[in-house]
Structure 1
């Protein structure tokens, strides 16, 4: 009877180890497929890249070309979504589904893009995992969410930890270090995009003023020409007044 009991225990242990090995192999194969797919992407040379802990999603950055690639693994295989820095609207770290930190576009143009997504019905999804931080000694998940300017698929979730561990443990600390690093990178890209937006906004008024001045000068020259044609101004007076306008 005792032998039967320990025999079942051994079988359960062996089965558990076998399942764990299979999961490791599956995740490893997913990561290899992502790496191969990324290498085949033209005009993109990643300077930094990360593949999530579960092999479901990844992220790569080409700092020279200012491009970002969102990587996803699904039933149909690996999918790559190239975007620009300006397409990143926000970055958020979740611990067990609760928001730890978040960075979002702050410029007028960036804010309008985020507002457009929320009005499109995505707002509830974006905030769906947000809430009050829970106090606990143990953690099960650490995720990074990137929100992008795409109404069909605005959310890109990257997992860094999906097993229970203590907050003072090496697994949790390593996962948080990775999540903070990539959240920081996203924040830098968002800042760059905001600065570009601000420069664009600041240059528009000067361009409009320049165009207005040109139109005003053309109107004045036209008036002078009419006065000359009507005999109000002589040819000499017309030339004098024209030179004053153009000087």
Structure 2
């Protein structure tokens, strides 16, 4: 309540008093000074509130993310990838032939307490198909029974990359800026048949200093691993 009064009500009250007090009043100078001060203080408090809320959100997400990972402690993961802002995670236990996936959800995106994770353990033989999606467009895919192992639909990376995902056959479309790179996974499960792991999200990744080249390489490696698993099982 005190925060609300200082941030919003005090500047308004002082502005009203400044408007109704005579310009020649001895209090005018003081009121003007207090008014400017209150507006400056309001700006500082708003910025502080935003920063504090972001820190609390980050702490809450880190705690819940850690709890979700802890459920995989009995596995022997040899590789993992965490999406920007911890919205998802994929890991692999080659010894037990399992893939682990964590995905984040929220009831209210503005309430960090409503954020939660679901964890999944998928046997290799239940992985049916995998795909790479760039800017919402399917780039390549591979599935059980497919000998070709995926055909590129299109898409190139701009900003110095200027090349289609290496090592895959197909044609290209008009060059455009890369805003997202995602790995899709179809599994043999009626309740959870599809997972999407974000490897690059333009604003989130740049904030975490993750380049599109690095994200693309990581996504290609995971695609190749899943492709190998699909072809083997």
Task: Work out whether 1:93 is the aligned partner of 2:132.
Answer: yes
The alpha-carbon distance between structure 1 residues 170 and 60, as it changes in their structure 2 partners (threshold 3 A), is closer
Matched, 1:191 2:225: no
The two structures have a TM-score, normalised by structure 1, of 0.54
**Counterpart in the other structure of 2:90:** 59
TM-score by length of 2: 0.57
Q: Is the 8 A contact 1:100 1:133 kept in 2?
A: no
Equivalent position to 1:154, from 178, 187, 193: 193
Whole-angstrom distance in 2 between the partners of 1:95 and 1:20: 29
- Equivalent residue in structure 1 for 2:120, among 81, 92, 102: 81
1:11 to 38, 45, 48: 45
Pairing partner for 2:144 from 105, 119, 122? 105
Quote the RMSD (CA, aligned, Å).
Answer: 3.3
Question: Larger Cα Rg: Structure 1 or Structure 2?
Answer: 1
Q: Is the 1:98–1:134 Cα contact (8 Å) retained in structure 2? A: no
Distance 2:141 2:36 in 1: 56
Partner secondary structure for residue 185 of structure 2: strand
> Residues 50-102 of structure 1, C-alpha deviation per residue, up to 9 Å, x if partnerless?
33334343222221232223334557965443332221122222333222332
Partners of 2:173 and 2:46 in 1: CA distance: 37
1:24 Cα offset (Å) = 2.0
Look up the SS of the partner of 2:71 in the other structure.
helix
> How far apart are 1:32 and its partner, in Å?
1.0
Q: Distance in 2 between matches of 1:135 and 1:8?
A: 46
Aligned length: 165
Secondary structure at 1:65's aligned position in 2? Answer: coil
Alpha-carbon distance in 2 for matches of 1:2, 1:59? 52
The CA deviation at 1:21 is 1.6
Q: Contact conserved, 1:34 with 1:73, CA < 8 A, in 2?
A: no
